[in-house]
């Protein structure tokens, strides 16, 4: 599968091996970075060759229209893709500016499009995906997803900071800031509500979502201050410490890793945490574990258990030693398309490790703690907890071991990249053959950002340095309103009426945890619930009789809460 160019170059480099970096990874990146950039741009409207029909600045997830149909624009994918382009712009590729300005305009419009998650002021910013002509996607989906606004704010904040440095503050104030402000107002209001995770499957709280929300609020508060937007600055900097406090709760001290989701019933070992660490990389924070920096003991411990969870389940990983890289996917329990390795997951492992190396080199030391000891052992079986300065042999052994390990993940990707450099979403666990969506834009972005990290590149600080988490968290859930749900329903003896729906107070569509209604005004059943203000959500009543659950007929009911006060419904069972 390896491309001809890579194989050829490999043979040449192998002869002069001995350098610290892998020649296979060198050759892969040399060939693949320009291909990735070109294929990424081909997936952006209006003129990308694979993005026909997409409006200007709109990123398609993939040109695949069936099995799976990915010809939509996801807020998450587009933000991460544009973040990679903004990073290249800052590094000197100023010709990307037109494309980035088109993104700003497209997102300013998209924020106003009413959709099944709500309107611009009632939670609609949590909608995960749209049609590529920027109309709402109205089919059923895992919604809301609350990482999107924060990721978009981060991409646009990086862009704004660059524009301000280059004398273009008025464009920021007029065009970019209004988009960021809506996203961060949403984030400040809803960070403590549950939603679907980045894989669109589990409705709960999710480490990635919380981590990216925290970063966006911190850097957004600084930008707001810069622009004289003091009310916004106060709001974001009030919520940011609460988010950081909550972020700590994902760490599972007895098992020694980050549990990615608070719900979903999985092990919690998930590339979720590696992507979050790399996204939130801020070298000024060193190996700080509070913000789960890539070289922090907690982030490395999590990375190790995540990687190891794939060693025995993917046949293509057979025979690899503990210090060798393997193919990795989203999480071990994955069954989507048969639960295969993902290119962007394997690339995220390499990126986190390259980021760690940047800091170790800058600090001229590696610190091993009891928490990260298992991560380091495969590179030096005798290593013990301690700090190793760059003139020690332990430092050299560990650094070279981690560098080879990181490059190994790129070698895995190289081995399973077709000769034309195209990257799908997944590659098969038994054969390594690409599968699921073709030309996944996010796969290409993941190669670009891993490559930059390997080159020692990083972005300006987002303000992670010196942050500490408070011991007890203020959960500030934002404003709520009290709604009385009334439903007229005749029941037989032993039968009771319950309520569930799409928000946490309605128990996230769980029939088991559904709220019991009170029949004191029979045949009207009632319950009063505190729900988030300014929010559109769906709900249904259910009947339970001796463990037998009967749902109301479709469609779901919908309710939009006001800004304050109380509300009520007068429903009739259907
Ligand atoms: C589509 C989502 O995009 C994907 O992440 C998920 O695994 C499948 N639906 C199955 O729920
Ligand atoms: C499925 C992935 O799980 C999700 O994260 C992504 O947003 C969509 N596919 C689109 O690429």
Average pLDDT over residues 110-125: 96
Tell me which of 127, 185, 197, 229 is the catalytic residue: 197
Atom of ligand 2 at shortest range from CA of 199: 3
Q: Is a pLDDT exceeding 60 seen at residue 408?
A: yes
**pTM, whole model, 2 decimals?**
0.87
For 180, the enclosing helix (H) or strand (E) is helix 177-190
Question: What is the domain partition of the chain in residue ranges?
Answer: 1-42+293-460, 70-252, 480-572
**Residue 565, pLDDT score:** 86
Query: Which protein residue's CA is at the shortest distance from atom 11 of ligand 2?
Result: 61
Q: Which of the ligands is closest to the CA of residue 198?
A: 2
**Residue 15, pLDDT score:** 35
What fold, for 1-42+293-460?
Answer: Glycosyltransferase (1.50.10)
Average pLDDT over residues 93-100: 98
Q: Is a pLDDT exceeding 60 seen at residue 246?
A: yes
Average pLDDT over residues 80-96: 98
The DSSP code sequence of 374-405 is: HHHGGG-TT--SEEEETTSHHHHHHHHHHHHH
Least confident of 75-84, 247-256, 351-360, 468-477: 468-477
Query: Model confidence over 448-458: pLDDT tens digits?
Result: 999 999 999 99
Atom of ligand 1 at shortest range from CA of 200: 5
Query: Which protein residue's CA is at the shortest distance from atom 1 of ligand 2?
Result: 199
C-beta of 333 in contact with ligand 1 (< 6 A)? no
Q: How large a percentage of the chain has pLDDT more than 90?
A: 90
C-beta of 337 in contact with ligand 1 (< 6 A)? no
Query: Model confidence over 161-192: pLDDT tens digits?
Result: 999 999 999 999 999 999 999 999 999 999 99
DSSP state of 341: B
Query: How many other C-beta atoms lie within 10 A of the C-beta of residue 94?
Result: 12
Instruction: Establish whether domains 70-252 and 480-572 are of one fold.
Output: no
The residues, ordered by sequence, that sit 6+ positions from 379 with a Cβ below 8 Å of its Cβ are 323, 397, 398, 401, 402, 405
Q: Which mutation among 59, 72, 76 tests ligand 2's pocket best, with the greatest number of atoms within 8 A of CB?
A: 76
**Residue 477, pLDDT score:** 61
CATH architecture of 480-572: Sandwich (2.60)
Annotation says 411 is catalytic: no
**Residue 182, pLDDT score:** 98
Residues shown for the chain: 574
Average pLDDT over residues 379-403: 98
Atom of ligand 1 at shortest range from CA of 199: 5
Higher pLDDT, 160 or 16: 160
**Residue 235, pLDDT score:** 96
141 among the known binding-site residues? yes
Query: Model confidence over 521-565: pLDDT tens digits?
Result: 999 999 999 888 888 889 999 999 998 999 999 999 999 998 888
What fold, for 70-252?
Answer: Glycosyltransferase (1.50.10)
With the C-alpha atoms ordered 116, 120, 125, 130, is the resulting torsion angle positive or negative? positive
**Residue 508, pLDDT score:** 83
């Amino acid at each position: 599968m390896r491309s001809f160019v890579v194989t050829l170059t490999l043979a040449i480099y192998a002869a002069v091996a001995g350098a610290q970096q892998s020649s296979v990874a060198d050759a892969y990146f040399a060939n693949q970075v320009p291909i990735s950039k070109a294929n990424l741009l081909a997936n952006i409207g209006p003129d990308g060759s694979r993005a026909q029909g997409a409006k200007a600045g709109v990123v398609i997830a993939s040109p695949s229209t069936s099995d799976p149909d990915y010809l939509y624009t996801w807020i998450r994918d587009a933000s991460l893709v544009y973040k990679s382009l903004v990073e290249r712009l800052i590094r000197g590729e100023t010709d990307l500016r037109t494309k980035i300005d088109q993104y700003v305009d497209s997102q300013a419009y998209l924020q106003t499009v009413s959709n099944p998650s709500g309107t611009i002021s009632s939670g609609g910013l949590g909608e995960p995906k749209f049609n590529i002509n920027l109309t709402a996607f109205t089919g059923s989906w895992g919604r809301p997803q609350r990482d999107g606004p924060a990721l978009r704010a981060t991409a646009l904040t990086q862009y704004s900071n660059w524009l301000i440095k280059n004398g273009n503050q008025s464009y920021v104030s007029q065009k970019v800031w209004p988009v960021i402000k809506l996203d961060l107002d949403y984030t400040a209001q809803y960070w403590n509500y549950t939603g679907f995770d980045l894989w669109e499957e589990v409705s709960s709280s999710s480490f990635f979502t919380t981590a990216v929300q925290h970063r966006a609020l911190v850097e957004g508060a600084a930008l707001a201050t810069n622009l004289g937007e003091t009310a916004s600055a106060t709001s974001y900097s009030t919520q940011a410490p609460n988010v950081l406090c909550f972020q700590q709760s994902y760490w599972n001290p007895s098992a020694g890793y980050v549990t990615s989701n608070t719900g979903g019933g999985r092990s919690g070992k998930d590339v979720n945490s590696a992507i979050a660490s790399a996204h939130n990389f801020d070298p000024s924070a060193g190996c700080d574990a509070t913000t789960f920096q890539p070289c922090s003991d907690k982030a490395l411990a999590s990375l190790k258990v995540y990687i190891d969870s794939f060693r025995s389940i993917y046949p293509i990983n057979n025979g690899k030693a503990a210090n060798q890289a393997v193919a990795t996917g989203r999480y071990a329990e994955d069954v989507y398309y048969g639960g295969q390795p993902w290119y962007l997951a394997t690339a995220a492992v390499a990126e986190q490790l390259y980021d760690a190396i940047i800091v170790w080199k800058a600090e001229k030391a590696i610190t091993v703690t009891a928490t990260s000891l298992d991560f380091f052992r495969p590179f030096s079986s005798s290593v013990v907890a301690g700090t190793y300065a760059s003139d020690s042999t332990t430092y050299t052994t560990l650094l070279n071991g981690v560098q080879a390990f990181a490059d190994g993940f790129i070698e895995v990707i190289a081995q399973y990249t077709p000769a034309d450099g195209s990257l799908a979403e997944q590659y098969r666990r038994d054969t390594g053959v690409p599968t699921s969506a073709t030309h996944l834009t996010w796969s290409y972005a993941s190669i670009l950002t891993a490559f930059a990290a390997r080159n020692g590149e990083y972005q300006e600080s987002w303000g992670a340095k010196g942050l500490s988490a408070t011991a007890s968290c203020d959960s500030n859930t934002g404003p709520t309103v009290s709604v009385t749900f009334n439903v007229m329903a005749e029941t037989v003896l032993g039968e009771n009426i319950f309520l569930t729906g799409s928000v946490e107070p309605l128990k996230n569509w769980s029939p088991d945890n559904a709220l019991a209604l009170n029949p004191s005004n029979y045949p009207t059943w009632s319950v009063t619930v505190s729900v988030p203000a300014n929010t559109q959500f769906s709900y249904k009543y259910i009947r339970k009789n001796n463990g037998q659950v009967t749902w109301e007929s479709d469609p779901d009911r919908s309710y939009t809460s006001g800004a304050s006060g109380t509300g009520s419904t007068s429903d009739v069972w259907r």
